[in-house]
Amino acid sequence: MSLKNFGGVLDFAIELENEDASVLELAEKNQEMSSYQEQLTRLAKENKKNAKTLTRARQENVTEMILEPIQGLEVENYQEAKGDPTSMRKDEIVDHLKRLEDRAERFYREAAIRLQPVSDVAGIFQRLAKKRGERRKKLSTLS
Protein backbone atom coordinates (compact mmCIF):
# COMPACT_ATOMS: atom_id res chain seq x y z
CA MET A 1 0.00 0.00 0.00
CA SER A 2 1.31 3.43 -0.93
CA LEU A 3 1.52 6.33 1.45
CA LYS A 4 0.08 8.82 -1.03
CA ASN A 5 -0.48 11.91 1.04
CA PHE A 6 0.98 13.90 3.88
CA GLY A 7 -1.62 12.74 6.40
CA GLY A 8 -1.03 9.09 5.53
CA VAL A 9 2.73 9.44 6.01
CA LEU A 10 2.27 11.05 9.41
CA ASP A 11 -0.35 8.50 10.46
CA PHE A 12 2.06 5.70 9.53
CA ALA A 13 4.89 7.37 11.48
CA ILE A 14 2.68 7.75 14.56
CA GLU A 15 1.62 4.10 14.31
CA LEU A 16 5.28 3.05 13.90
CA GLU A 17 6.28 4.89 17.08
CA ASN A 18 3.38 3.47 19.09
CA GLU A 19 4.02 -0.09 17.88
CA ASP A 20 7.73 0.16 18.68
CA ALA A 21 6.87 1.44 22.17
CA SER A 22 4.64 -1.60 22.67
CA VAL A 23 7.43 -3.97 21.61
CA LEU A 24 9.80 -2.29 24.06
CA GLU A 25 7.25 -2.59 26.86
CA LEU A 26 6.88 -6.30 26.12
CA ALA A 27 10.66 -6.71 26.07
CA GLU A 28 10.79 -5.16 29.55
CA LYS A 29 8.67 -8.05 30.82
CA ASN A 30 11.13 -10.67 29.62
CA GLN A 31 13.21 -11.93 32.54
CA GLU A 32 16.37 -12.04 30.41
CA MET A 33 16.10 -8.28 29.91
CA SER A 34 15.65 -7.38 33.58
CA SER A 35 19.08 -5.74 33.81
CA TYR A 36 18.14 -3.48 30.87
CA GLN A 37 14.69 -2.49 32.08
CA GLU A 38 15.68 1.15 32.66
CA GLN A 39 17.01 1.56 29.12
CA LEU A 40 13.98 -0.15 27.60
CA THR A 41 11.61 2.05 29.62
CA ARG A 42 13.48 5.16 28.47
CA LEU A 43 13.30 4.06 24.82
CA ALA A 44 9.57 3.33 25.07
CA LYS A 45 8.99 6.79 26.58
CA GLU A 46 10.97 8.33 23.71
CA ASN A 47 8.73 6.52 21.22
CA LYS A 48 5.62 7.86 22.93
CA LYS A 49 7.09 11.37 22.94
CA ASN A 50 7.91 11.02 19.24
CA ALA A 51 4.31 9.98 18.56
CA LYS A 52 3.07 13.11 20.35
CA THR A 53 5.47 15.29 18.34
CA LEU A 54 4.24 13.74 15.10
CA THR A 55 0.60 14.15 16.15
CA ARG A 56 1.20 17.82 16.86
CA ALA A 57 2.95 18.26 13.49
CA ARG A 58 0.01 16.62 11.77
CA GLN A 59 -2.47 18.94 13.49
CA GLU A 60 -0.43 22.06 12.75
CA ASN A 61 -0.04 21.27 9.05
CA VAL A 62 -3.62 20.51 8.04
CA THR A 63 -3.37 22.60 4.86
CA GLU A 64 -0.30 20.76 3.64
CA MET A 65 -1.97 17.50 4.51
CA ILE A 66 -4.63 18.21 1.92
CA LEU A 67 -2.42 19.79 -0.73
CA GLU A 68 0.80 17.80 -0.62
CA PRO A 69 0.79 14.52 -2.60
CA ILE A 70 3.50 12.00 -1.74
CA GLN A 71 5.00 9.42 -4.10
CA GLY A 72 7.41 6.57 -3.64
CA LEU A 73 6.67 5.46 -0.08
CA GLU A 74 5.31 1.93 0.14
CA VAL A 75 4.16 0.55 3.50
CA GLU A 76 5.55 -2.88 2.59
CA ASN A 77 9.09 -1.45 2.57
CA TYR A 78 8.81 -0.52 6.24
CA GLN A 79 7.10 -3.51 7.78
CA GLU A 80 8.88 -5.69 10.29
CA ALA A 81 7.59 -8.91 11.81
CA LYS A 82 6.14 -8.13 15.23
CA GLY A 83 7.32 -11.14 17.21
CA ASP A 84 6.71 -11.58 20.93
CA PRO A 85 9.66 -10.33 22.99
CA THR A 86 8.28 -11.95 26.12
CA SER A 87 9.17 -15.38 24.74
CA MET A 88 12.49 -14.54 23.01
CA ARG A 89 16.04 -14.96 24.21
CA LYS A 90 18.02 -11.82 25.04
CA ASP A 91 20.05 -11.91 21.80
CA GLU A 92 16.85 -12.35 19.75
CA ILE A 93 15.23 -9.38 21.49
CA VAL A 94 18.25 -7.14 20.90
CA ASP A 95 18.43 -8.17 17.23
CA HIS A 96 14.69 -7.52 16.85
CA LEU A 97 14.98 -4.08 18.46
CA LYS A 98 17.92 -3.23 16.18
CA ARG A 99 15.85 -4.17 13.12
CA LEU A 100 13.02 -1.92 14.35
CA GLU A 101 15.45 0.98 14.76
CA ASP A 102 16.97 0.36 11.31
CA ARG A 103 13.51 0.26 9.75
CA ALA A 104 12.39 3.46 11.49
CA GLU A 105 15.60 5.30 10.56
CA ARG A 106 15.25 4.28 6.90
CA PHE A 107 11.57 5.32 6.83
CA TYR A 108 12.25 8.72 8.38
CA ARG A 109 15.18 9.43 6.05
CA GLU A 110 13.24 8.45 2.94
CA ALA A 111 10.06 10.24 4.03
CA ALA A 112 12.00 13.41 4.91
CA ILE A 113 13.19 13.64 1.31
CA ARG A 114 9.63 13.39 0.02
CA LEU A 115 8.33 15.88 2.59
CA GLN A 116 10.80 18.65 1.68
CA PRO A 117 7.99 21.00 0.57
CA VAL A 118 6.80 20.95 4.18
CA SER A 119 10.20 21.86 5.61
CA ASP A 120 9.32 21.89 9.32
CA VAL A 121 7.91 18.35 9.15
CA ALA A 122 10.83 17.20 6.97
CA GLY A 123 13.10 18.55 9.71
CA ILE A 124 11.23 16.55 12.36
CA PHE A 125 11.64 13.42 10.25
CA GLN A 126 15.37 14.10 9.80
CA ARG A 127 15.82 14.50 13.56
CA LEU A 128 13.88 11.31 14.23
CA ALA A 129 16.03 9.43 11.68
CA LYS A 130 19.17 10.64 13.42
CA LYS A 131 17.78 9.75 16.85
CA ARG A 132 16.78 6.25 15.73
CA GLY A 133 20.26 5.70 14.26
CA GLU A 134 21.83 6.70 17.58
CA ARG A 135 19.46 4.39 19.43
CA ARG A 136 20.49 1.54 17.12
CA LYS A 137 24.14 2.07 18.10
CA LYS A 138 23.25 2.07 21.81
CA LEU A 139 21.35 -1.20 21.41
CA SER A 140 24.56 -2.79 20.15
CA THR A 141 25.99 -2.37 23.64
CA LEU A 142 23.24 -4.60 25.07
CA SER A 143 24.33 -7.69 23.18
Q: What are phi and psi of 69, to 5 degrees?
A: -75, 150
| pLDDT tens for each residue of 47-92 | 999 999 999 998 887 665 556 678 888 888 898 887 889 999 999 9
Task: Report the CATH number of the 6-142 domain.
Answer: 1.20.1260.10
Q: What are phi and psi of 72, to 5 degrees?
A: 95, 5
Counting residues of the chain whose pLDDT is more than 70, the rounded percentage is 93
Reported pTM: 0.89
Q: Write down the domain spans for the chain.
A: 6-142
Q: What is the pLDDT of residue 50?
A: 97
Q: What single-letter amino acid sits at 103?
A: R
On the question of pLDDT at 15 being above 70, the answer is: yes
Residues 80 and 84: their CA atoms lie apart, in Å, by 12
Residues 30 and 143: their CA atoms lie apart, in Å, by 15
Q: What is the pLDDT of residue 67?
A: 61
